[in-house]
Chain A
Amino acid sequence: MPVVDCRGVSKWYGTAKVLDDVDFSVNEGEIHVLLGENGAGKSTLVKIVAGLVSPDRGEVSISGTELRYGSVVAAQSMGVALIHQEPRLFPDLTVMENVWIDQRSGAVGKQRFRLSQMGSRTKELLAQLGSSVSPDARVAFLSVADQQMVDIAAALRRDLKVLIVDEPTASLTPSEVTNLFRVMRDLKDQGVAIIFIGHRLEEILEISDRITVLRDGKLVTTVNRSDANEDELIRLMIGRDIDTGERRDSANVGDVLLTVANLSEAGRFSDVSLNVRQGEIVGIGGLVGAGRSELLETIFGVRAKSAGTIDVGGADISSISDAVSAGMGLVPEDRGRYGLILLTSVLNNISAPNLDLTSWHDVRSPRKELRNAESIVSRLRIKVSNVQQLAGQLSGGNQQRVSLGKWLVRDLEVLLVDEPTRGVDIGSKVEIHALLREFADSGKAVVMVSSDMRELLEVPDRILIMREGRLAGELSREEATEEAVMRLASGVAA
């Protein structure tokens, strides 16, 4: 009998049907991967299993007991735990308090907070996960990987039957991913049923036992790992064939557009020099925490530099307005927080950086703004009902297109992109790569930070690697291999 059993589950959000009659099950001691483009319904399905969302139709049972609608508490008491990409913890509390906060009276001494007992038990749980975080540490000061372990420890504290991990690896370093997978395999051997959501196919094929593909809220198929291959999975996910892994021709490189000399930001990165030429896409690789995003944000003037110079076409950059008027644009990594204003319209999002072009003495021109927005929407094939739609209502891929497109209204010289395709469906990914290429080919320059190895190897003309806040080396397109990148990024000698 499966541990998780969903029968005929459907869910609407407003008028949109996000899950359509889905049958899905997970067995004891199995790692079951949910695969699908953004908006396919994966997250909604796992939220239903975790009791966070109630289905409009259908039933969910855990170990044979039916789950009451939308009750987190009920799901938790049945042993279901959901781990998010960004751990949902309490930054002001200690590790131990985070682990025990939902302890209901009864088990470990009613209301009383038995410090010694909880402390040692927390330590045991963390040790089981290979983590040496102190139970008294404040969660605010932990890395994302450590926080995930705290989150899992909190789940283990209860009788864990079903562990759901929703895109956990995006913000982890490779060694942290390895450790997470080891933990998942351990738990699987103990009989825990694991549901894993991910976008990186290599990872998925490595860790999974079975794979279920969702598309547009419908279940496409469930296959065993032994029967699956990458191309087939991609085809199932997007419902059509697609070219991946194509390498482009070398660029016609022109004059230098962006010169960064000895740039430092105290405590973040130091002494970074680079230049980018017309027609070039320069990739920046490295581990999370190496200072790549900070470098990009400093070049764009968001963060204050402590030393060095940034020069775009003769203009010295020290603030965002300098950067924008010199013809730079930044597409930040976290589009929900920095890239877009989700609670306002697509139109306003596109207008925001371009007010200097559309207004007359600070008085806006709605007509010009509308024209710009509509031309970008059609040029980037952004799926919206109209430009007044809230940006937050778009799918991940379409949001990313808006975040990128708002800069294309301007006559940009240098585009800075940070993880341009994270959390984006494969169709959008290919189109965004083509867009960056097209932009560079028109005589502009692109600087791209990416942790997606395949993207890093395929899209840029050359790759700079950062390690611990410094440039560790440069790889030409011919030299660039996964191994070479990892070696520079982690500082391991050849």
Chain B
Amino acid sequence: MSDVKGAGRLRQIARLREAGIAAVIIVLIVVFGVLNPRFLNPDNLGSIVLSVGILMILAIGQMLVIITRNIDLSVGSVLGLSAMVMGMVGRDFPQLPIALLIVVAMVVGGLAGAVNGVLVALFKIPAIIATLGTLAIFRGLTFLVSNNVQVDPEDISVEMKNLAARGLLGVPWLVIFALIVVALAWWFTKRTMTGKRLYAIGSNPDAARMRGLNVTGLTFGVFVVMGALAGLGGAMYVARFATVNPADAGLGFELAVISAVVIGGTNIFGGSGTVLGTVLGTILVGILANGLTVVGVSGFWQRFASGAIILLAIVADSFVRKRIETRQSRETVVRSP
């Protein structure tokens, strides 16, 4: 009676979901392309790819955090802080290799993530509150370390800027970094026990503790990883924009990142979410932001559109889920004793 009961049904939802986003992406590309052919010219596509790349690095980290039933609202500030520190180090020590600078950015981000991790994992402060606090703290720190002076384009080395322009076979390093992050995350969530444990923690934290999983350690770890990825995002930000202003580097990024993750089908209450979904969600957010501008819709509509899309995503989600649930309940009743 219980053979293959429920097997793969959630996976089915996930598939449906991913196909849906892919379809929306294609429709958007066609619509934007028709409205303004300039949308499809290589320069513009390149610019989309670069902004999607930075967003994706952060979205992957955020997905891992949300899977564990947490959230990190401080990602934009962490990006700003690590970009600022890296920019300043690069300016004051121009002889340092850029690989080292990237490491500096990731270490700064990782430390910031560790602060979040301690607050959430050790002191058990709800993540939304803790990171709401650190969102302000890291932004303030950015001002303090920079003394409210921005890092100018001429202080950023050519090699650094080239990360967003040159790479392997015409693919910029920035994009390659993003792809590496995606590949690692895919392997981590699909193929490792530790990855599965993150889902377990988010799915049922009490059970995770009872089964002896190291909930504190894993939660701490996931925040550190998130921070380090925000640091990497900060480095890429410097490469792409060639300037760091303490007031607006990464400002409001958390919204775009969380939108991408939620649109990608990650359950905001933890336990489920896929790398593929997040990748598609990020691409959707990136295309929408760029396309609206190119099509000549005023920049003012962008925020409105991103809000509307998140709403649409969660409404669609809940309808699918409800339908599956009713079908499921019918089967329960029909089940013979």
A and B touching (Cβ–Cβ under 8 A) = yes
8 more contacts with CB within 8 A, not counting A90-B200, A133-B3, A140-B10, are: A76-B211, A88-B204, A88-B210, A90-B204, A100-B193, A113-B193, A143-B332, A267-B333
Chain A interface extent, by class: 35 or more
A105 to B193, CA, bound (A): 9
- The answer on a CB contact under 8 Å between A93 and B203 is yes
Closest to B4 in A: A134
Using A142-B6, A267-B326 as known contacts, say yes or no to A469 and B337 having CB atoms under 8 A apart: no
Using A88-B207, A88-B210, A102-B213 as known contacts, say yes or no to A146 and B2 having CB atoms under 8 A apart: yes
- The answer on a CB contact under 8 Å between A90 and B337 is no
A434 to B303, CA, bound (A): 64
- The answer on a CB contact under 8 Å between B8 and A136 is yes
- The answer on a CB contact under 8 Å between A141 and B5 is yes
Number of residue pairs spanning A and B whose beta carbons lie under 8 angstroms apart: 125
Q: Out of B8, B203, B210, B272, which one reaches A72, CB within 8 Å?
A: B210
Task: Determine if A308 is an interface residue (Cβ-Cβ < 8 Å).
Answer: no
Task: Determine if A427 is an interface residue (Cβ-Cβ < 8 Å).
Answer: no
Task: Determine if A111 is an interface residue (Cβ-Cβ < 8 Å).
Answer: yes
Closest to A98 in B: B200
A82 to B209, CA, bound (A): 13
Task: Determine if A73 is an interface residue (Cβ-Cβ < 8 Å).
Answer: yes
| Chain A residues whose CB sits within 8 angstroms of the CB of B202 once the complex forms | 92
| Chain B residues whose CB sits within 8 angstroms of the CB of A468 once the complex forms | 333-334, 336-337
- The answer on a CB contact under 8 Å between B203 and A90 is yes
Closest to A131 in B: B2
| Chain A residues whose CB sits within 8 angstroms of the CB of B1 once the complex forms | 132
| Chain A residues whose CB sits within 8 angstroms of the CB of B196 once the complex forms | 93, 97, 101, 113
Q: Kindly identify, within residues 80 to 99 of chain A, every residue whose CB is under 8 Å from any CB belonging to chain B.
A: 82, 88-93, 97
| Chain A residues whose CB sits within 8 angstroms of the CB of B326 once the complex forms | 266-267
A91 to B213, CA, bound (A): 16
| Chain B residues whose CB sits within 8 angstroms of the CB of A287 once the complex forms | 337
B184 to A: closest C-beta gap in Å: 13
| Chain B residues whose CB sits within 8 angstroms of the CB of A82 once the complex forms | 210
- The answer on a CB contact under 8 Å between A90 and B10 is no
Using A91-B203, A92-B203, A136-B8 as known contacts, say yes or no to A490 and B337 having CB atoms under 8 A apart: yes
Q: Out of B6, B207, B210, B336, which one reaches A137, CB within 8 Å?
A: B6
9 A-B residue pairings within 8 Å (CB atoms): A73-B212, A88-B207, A90-B271, A101-B213, A146-B2, A154-B211, A266-B326, A267-B330, A489-B337
A175 to B212, CA, bound (A): 32
B194 to A: closest C-beta gap in Å: 7
Closest to A489 in B: B337
Q: Kindly identify, within residues 172 to 209 of chain A, every residue whose CB is under 8 Å from any CB belonging to chain B.
A: 173, 175
- The answer on a CB contact under 8 Å between A90 and B9 is no
Q: Kindly identify, within residues 276 to 334 of chain B, every residue whose CB is under 8 Å from any CB belonging to chain A.
A: 326, 328-330, 332-334
A326 to B: closest C-beta gap in Å: 28
A249 to B9, CA, bound (A): 53
A140 to B213, CA, bound (A): 20
B317 to A: closest C-beta gap in Å: 15
- The answer on a CB contact under 8 Å between B6 and A140 is yes
Using A103-B193, A111-B194 as known contacts, say yes or no to A52 and B7 having CB atoms under 8 A apart: no
Number of residues in B with C-beta < 8 Å to the partner? 42
Closest to A73 in B: B212
A175 to B336, CA, bound (A): 11
Task: Determine if B199 is an interface residue (Cβ-Cβ < 8 Å).
Answer: yes
- The answer on a CB contact under 8 Å between A289 and B335 is yes
Central interface residue in B194, B328, B337, by most chain A CB within 10 Å:
B337
Question: Chain A interface mostly helix, strand, loop or mixed?
Answer: loop
- The answer on a CB contact under 8 Å between A90 and B208 is yes
Closest to B335 in A: A289
Central interface residue in B7, B192, B326, B335, by most chain A CB within 10 Å:
B7
B63 to A: closest C-beta gap in Å: 14
Report, nearest first, the 4 A-B pairs whose CB atoms are least far apart: A141-B6, A88-B207, A92-B271, A90-B203
- The answer on a CB contact under 8 Å between B6 and A112 is no
Q: Out of A101, A105, A269, which one reaches B200, CB within 8 Å?
A: A101
Task: Determine if B197 is an interface residue (Cβ-Cβ < 8 Å).
Answer: yes
Closest to B194 in A: A111
A52 to B211, CA, bound (A): 10
- Which residues of B does A touch, CB under 8 Å? 1-10, 191-194, 196-197, 199-200, 202-204, 206-213, 267, 271-272, 326, 328-330, 332-337
- The answer on a CB contact under 8 Å between B5 and A92 is no
A105 to B197, CA, bound (A): 13
Using A101-B213, A113-B193 as known contacts, say yes or no to A269 and B333 having CB atoms under 8 A apart: yes
A267 to B331, CA, bound (A): 8
Task: Determine if A138 is an interface residue (Cβ-Cβ < 8 Å).
Answer: yes
A266 to B334, CA, bound (A): 12
Q: Out of B5, B204, B267, B334, which one reaches A134, CB within 8 Å?
A: B5
- The answer on a CB contact under 8 Å between B2 and A142 is yes
- The answer on a CB contact under 8 Å between B191 and A88 is no
A426 to B324, CA, bound (A): 41
Closest to B334 in A: A468
| Chain B residues whose CB sits within 8 angstroms of the CB of A285 once the complex forms | none
A489 to B337, CA, bound (A): 9
| Chain B residues whose CB sits within 8 angstroms of the CB of A102 once the complex forms | 211-213
Task: Determine if A410 is an interface residue (Cβ-Cβ < 8 Å).
Answer: no
Q: Out of B272, B328, B330, B332, which one reaches A92, CB within 8 Å?
A: B272
Closest to B325 in A: A267
Hey, what's the 0/1 contact readout for A318-338 against B, CB within 8 Å counting as 1?
000000000000000000000
| Chain A residues whose CB sits within 8 angstroms of the CB of B212 once the complex forms | 72-73, 76, 102
A175 to B337, CA, bound (A): 8
Hey, what's the 0/1 contact readout for A263-289 against B, CB within 8 Å counting as 1?
000111100000000000000000101
Hey, what's the 0/1 contact readout for A462-479 against B, CB within 8 Å counting as 1?
000001110000000000
Closest to A135 in B: B7
A101 to B209, CA, bound (A): 12
- The answer on a CB contact under 8 Å between B191 and A112 is yes
- The answer on a CB contact under 8 Å between B207 and A138 is no
A162 to B: closest C-beta gap in Å: 15
A40 to B213, CA, bound (A): 30
A468 to B7, CA, bound (A): 23
| Chain A residues whose CB sits within 8 angstroms of the CB of B209 once the complex forms | 72
A275 to B: closest C-beta gap in Å: 24
Closest to A77 in B: B212
| Chain B residues whose CB sits within 8 angstroms of the CB of A92 once the complex forms | 10, 199, 202-203, 267, 271-272
A136 to B5, CA, bound (A): 9
Central interface residue in A140, A141, A266, by most chain B CB within 10 Å:
A141
| Chain A residues whose CB sits within 8 angstroms of the CB of B271 once the complex forms | 90-92
- The answer on a CB contact under 8 Å between B199 and A93 is yes
- The answer on a CB contact under 8 Å between B7 and A136 is yes
| Chain B residues whose CB sits within 8 angstroms of the CB of A100 once the complex forms | 193
A467 to B188, CA, bound (A): 46
Closest to B326 in A: A267
| Chain A residues whose CB sits within 8 angstroms of the CB of B336 once the complex forms | 468
A105 to B: closest C-beta gap in Å: 8
Q: Out of B10, B191, B193, B206, which one reaches A138, CB within 8 Å?
A: B10
A156 to B207, CA, bound (A): 17
- The answer on a CB contact under 8 Å between B210 and A133 is no
Task: Determine if A491 is an interface residue (Cβ-Cβ < 8 Å).
Answer: yes
Task: Determine if A291 is an interface residue (Cβ-Cβ < 8 Å).
Answer: yes
| Chain A residues whose CB sits within 8 angstroms of the CB of B211 once the complex forms | 72, 76, 88, 101-102, 154
Closest to B6 in A: A141
Hey, what's the 0/1 contact readout for A429-455 against B, CB within 8 Å counting as 1?
000000000000000000000000000
